[in-house]
Structure 1
Amino acid sequence: MAAACARALSKVGSGPVRRFGSVSYLLGNVGPRGSRRAYGTGAGFRSTPIPVRTGGGGVLVFLLGGGLGFYQTLKPNQNQQNRADGDAQVSGGPKLTLYQYKTCPFCSKVRAFLDYHGLPYEVVEVNPVMRQEIQWSSYRKVPILMVDDQLQLNDSSVIMSSLKTFLISREKSLSDILRCYPEMKSRNDGGKEVTEYNNKYWLMLSEAETAATYPQKDTQKEEMKWRQWADDCLVHLISPNVYRTTGEALASFDYIVREGKFGTVEGFFAKYVGAAAMYVISKRLKNRHNLQDDVREDLYKAVNDWVAAVGKNRKFMGGDKPNLADLAVFGVLRVMEGLQAFDDMMDNTRVKYWYRRMERATLNHEGRSQSQQ
């Protein structure tokens, strides 16, 4: 189906062209301002303190972002501008707005993609209880990426796949590309309706574009496999590790309080009540995902499996440059930075050199040349 969709797209004419720096955005049939079209769901989280991840059919505690977003009810929301070049956003270019929880691993994936490709964007921190920031949307998860406040992209993997497709295939409109990720609804074992989206790890490219993007045999399948692994396996190890002990739970919420810049009373409530709740829930997650008594061992094994898959002869899984799997894994892992789990991972696995290369690649926007071709 994905291949058929890619072939069909090659016959689609170009829509209106908007420029963002030297990047052309083909928005296709975008409705008038205020008319929002939603595409994709899946690997995000519901905007509640303990969201449900529908894609895997299980409950996944939203490690830090849920807590941070919850306690944003106590203070006014502030928007943050992220600029690829440190200058003002290019006049007349499309506006990218990312609705997120700051420490959500899925939101971090999207930021890693945008940063690596040097695409300026604004960040809106979403309150998962009140949800005022996304009250205009029937879609109640993050991340959401809005283009010009009109075209709505949902699900971290759909966002990355569709934007990457667009950066490669400039003759296709983004709205047409998004139609290749159709919605699928079903009911889980508990009878609850869940929504997934087909093809979300595929790029919708022509045969020639695919050959140019993946010149070596099986690299496309490898990228898709490890992107899905990041969503379905790696993220399940984060919460049990950052809330492994009462001390680590307190340290995690101390980090949340610092990032949120709370007052004394607000910070006390966030740190101690939130840490106690998440410590208890992390134990349930350990049992749900059949983790070892020492959940660090599961984290170490998963990270070393990733490093082994990258191999000794490649800087990244994508070779000399990160691919979407590199960006996905990096985005998930970096939400632990500043916590004991992250330090232990860096000291007890072989991930350090790959991680530092990824850090430089995103910080320096090393994929910007691909976006400007």
Structure 2
Amino acid sequence: MAAACVRRLGKVGKFVLDTPACRAVNCHAVVPRITLNGSRRAYGTGTEGFRSRPLKNFTTQLRSARVMGCAFLLGGGLGLYQTLKLTFQRHLAEEETKSSGSSGEVKLTLYQYKTCPFCSKVRAFLDFHSLPYEIVEVNPVMRKEIKWSSYRKVPILMVNDFHSLPSSTHQQLNDSSVIISTLKTFLISRERTIPQILECYPEMRSKNDSGKEVVEFNNKYWVMVTGTDEEKLYPEKGSRKEEMKWRKWADDWLVHLISPNVYRTPTEALASFDYIVREGKFGTFEGFFAKYVGAGAMWLISKRLKNRHNLQNDVRQDLYKAVNDWVAAVGKHRKFMGGEEPNLADLAVFGVLRVMDGLQAFDDMMENTKIKPWYRRMEKATHHKEQQ
């Protein structure tokens, strides 16, 4: 409607200025030259005393017509400018909505420790699928950022699904593998809401040998798709079982090799905690305490972890073997375990290994195993967002 009004104003202004009178360059072209007998002086341009009243009225009307035409054109131009401005602003708003959380459908907030391998797994998944998310870095000492949660571990992902939940209601997702399986199911089966999918991963509570309560989640490596969706996601026979096997391997074995390797010696432990303090959310005193006291403590704890998981004296050898086992499972004829694109096992292994980047253990791994080509392809697939 606004555009139609602008066009009409423009037409009116153009019609007025296209009249014969308004096309004149100046009044001399339209004012008759009235002369007195015996004189060649043109009194039409003389003093007012010699100008006839009809001529004076005609000149006044001419000027009014030109002013009115200019006013119409000016008004039309301003209206057109405002119309274009509003249209452009509306277009930008629509584009911003499309780019935020699956066309404005889902908003994601990740509570994490930057150097946590389980948090890194979730970030790798979100980055690969280009899902926008906000990060809340949790202080690992006080953990006040998650004091509202009865679940006291990270990662925690808060999901606001605008299609299924009120805008003021958020769904909490716990456990890295549950988070990944739930979101993958949601991306494929959009007819189900996040709460409906989450019911497929029931929480189970039990106590370990030391009497401490342990929370586990059933079916957490299973993406809840069937029929056509299953065939599309897992086109190769056995690919679903293979993905689940190696996702579980990343959680149950690979992740336990990280701490013994990054805290292998006092020097490596200090370098690791320097990185942790630099990347994490620590106060000045907390950072100093964590760097020096924490490094010493983790060096001692790494010795216990080595015994608990039956690792060799040189824990690097266990890391090298695990990484080469993964490369062998991917094979020589596939870019990723998922084929041309990473699957959930690729993203899990990459997320775990990525937390060592910048440390001596990572450099040794890249130099002494066959992981580098696959790892570089994974960096490219996840768009290097970890570095941004």
Equivalent-residue separation in structure 2 for 1:185 and 1:327 (angstroms): 27
Equivalent-residue separation in structure 1 for 2:103 and 2:375 (angstroms): 34
Distance change >3 Å, CA 283–CA 122, structure 1 → 2: same
- Indicate yes or no: 2:319 matched with 1:307: no
State the match for 1:168 in structure 2.
Answer: 188
Aligned to 2:355, the other structure's residue is in SS state: helix
Equivalent-residue separation in structure 2 for 1:267 and 1:189 (angstroms): 34
In the TM superposition, what is the alpha-carbon distance from 1:147 to its structure 2 partner? 1.2
Say which of 371, 378, 387 aligns to 1:351. 371
Gaps spanning 5+ residues in structure 2: where?
1-94, 161-168
State the match for 2:270 in structure 1.
Answer: 250
Aligned to 1:201, the other structure's residue is in SS state: coil
Equivalent-residue separation in structure 2 for 1:260 and 1:194 (angstroms): 26
- Indicate yes or no: 2:122 matched with 1:102: no
State the match for 2:289 in structure 1.
Answer: 269
Say which of 125, 129, 135 aligns to 2:137. 125
State the match for 1:227 in structure 2.
Answer: 247
- Indicate yes or no: 2:303 matched with 1:291: no
After superposition, residues 207-222 of structure 1 pair within 5 angstroms as 207-222=227-242
Give the partner amino acid of 2:202: P
Identity in percent: 76
Equivalent-residue separation in structure 1 for 2:140 and 2:150 (angstroms): 14
State the match for 1:65 in structure 2.
Answer: none
In the TM superposition, what is the alpha-carbon distance from 1:180 to its structure 2 partner? 0.4
- Indicate yes or no: 2:165 matched with 1:145: no
Q: With structure 1 as the length reference, what TM-score do the two structures score?
A: 0.72
Say which of 227, 240, 253 aligns to 2:260. 240
Alignment deviations for residues 165-211 of structure 1 (CA, whole Å, 9 cap, x no partner)? 11111111111011001112222223333221111000111222111
Alignment deviations for residues 242-297 of structure 1 (CA, whole Å, 9 cap, x no partner)? 00001101111121233248787665433211111111111110011100000000
Equivalent-residue separation in structure 1 for 2:382 and 2:239 (angstroms): 22
Distance change >3 Å, CA 258–CA 131, structure 1 → 2: closer
Equivalent-residue separation in structure 2 for 1:323 and 1:142 (angstroms): 23
- Indicate yes or no: 2:354 matched with 1:337: no
Equivalent-residue separation in structure 2 for 1:201 and 1:266 (angstroms): 36
Equivalent-residue separation in structure 2 for 1:173 and 1:271 (angstroms): 43
Contact 2:140–2:281 (CA under 8 A) maintained in structure 1 = no
Q: Which has the higher helix share?
A: 2
Aligned to 1:142, the other structure's residue is in SS state: coil
Contact 1:20–1:94 (CA under 8 A) maintained in structure 2 = no
Give the partner amino acid of 1:154: N
State the match for 1:363 in structure 2.
Answer: 383
Contact 1:116–1:364 (CA under 8 A) maintained in structure 2 = no
Deviates more, 1:191-200 or 1:88-97: 88-97
Equivalent-residue separation in structure 2 for 1:277 and 1:208 (angstroms): 52
Give the partner amino acid of 1:94: V
Deviates more, 1:246-255 or 1:286-295: 246-255
Contact 1:316–1:323 (CA under 8 A) maintained in structure 2 = yes
Give the partner amino acid of 2:107: K
State the match for 1:113 in structure 2.
Answer: 125
In the TM superposition, what is the alpha-carbon distance from 1:361 to its structure 2 partner? 0.4
In the TM superposition, what is the alpha-carbon distance from 1:128 to its structure 2 partner? 2.9
Equivalent-residue separation in structure 2 for 1:309 and 1:327 (angstroms): 14
Gaps spanning 5+ residues in structure 1: where?
1-18, 23-84, 366-373
Say which of 134, 148, 152 aligns to 2:146. 134
Alignment deviations for residues 36-90 of structure 1 (CA, whole Å, 9 cap, x no partner)? xxxxxxxxxxxxxxxxxxxxxxxxxxxxxxxxxxxxxxxxxxxxxxxxx7xx778
Contact 2:159–2:171 (CA under 8 A) maintained in structure 1 = yes
Distance change >3 Å, CA 234–CA 300, structure 1 → 2: same
Equivalent-residue separation in structure 1 for 2:104 and 2:357 (angstroms): 36
Larger C-alpha radius of gyration, 1 or 2? 2
Equivalent-residue separation in structure 2 for 1:119 and 1:239 (angstroms): 29
Equivalent-residue separation in structure 1 for 2:120 and 2:331 (angstroms): 24
Aligned to 2:354, the other structure's residue is in SS state: helix
Contact 1:182–1:198 (CA under 8 A) maintained in structure 2 = yes
Number of residues paired by the alignment?
283
Q: Which has the higher strand share?
A: 1
